Amino acid sequence: MAKQQSSASTGGEGSQREMTPEEKEQMRQSCEALKNFNLGKTMADAGKSVVKEAVNEAVQEKKQEEKNKAKDKIKGLFKHPHL
């Protein structure tokens, strides 16, 4: 009876199957990616990207504001010509 229990526990439903070569390669690549991952650099790059987008957005808003001022000035000249 003890023999049946030990064989059931080692070869039963809970045993792990052998990984295929493709799975092993995928696991190795995943481990290499984690080894080479640099959180500090990633966070710094993300911060730079956010700042760059904010600056570009501010510049675009300023340009659009200047264009609108110029258009309003031209429209004002057509409405009230100054001779």
The series of mean pLDDT values per 10 residues for the chain, 83 residues long, is 50 70 92 88 92 96 93 79 58
1 within domain boundaries: no
10 within domain boundaries: no
Are the C-beta atoms of residues 53 and 45 closer than 8 Å to each other? no
Sign of the alpha-carbon dihedral angle for 16, 18, 22, 28: positive
Q: Output the pLDDT for position 76.
A: 76
Q: Output the pLDDT for position 80.
A: 65
Q: Which range marks the domain in which residue 63 is found?
A: 39-83
12 within domain boundaries: no
With 0.75 as the threshold, say if the pTM is over it.
no
For the chain, the farthest-separated pair of C-alpha atoms sits apart, in whole angstroms, at 114
Q: Output the pLDDT for position 1.
A: 47
60 within domain boundaries: yes
18 within domain boundaries: no
Q: Output the pLDDT for position 64.
A: 95
Domain count of the chain?
1
E strands present in 25-74: none
68 within domain boundaries: yes
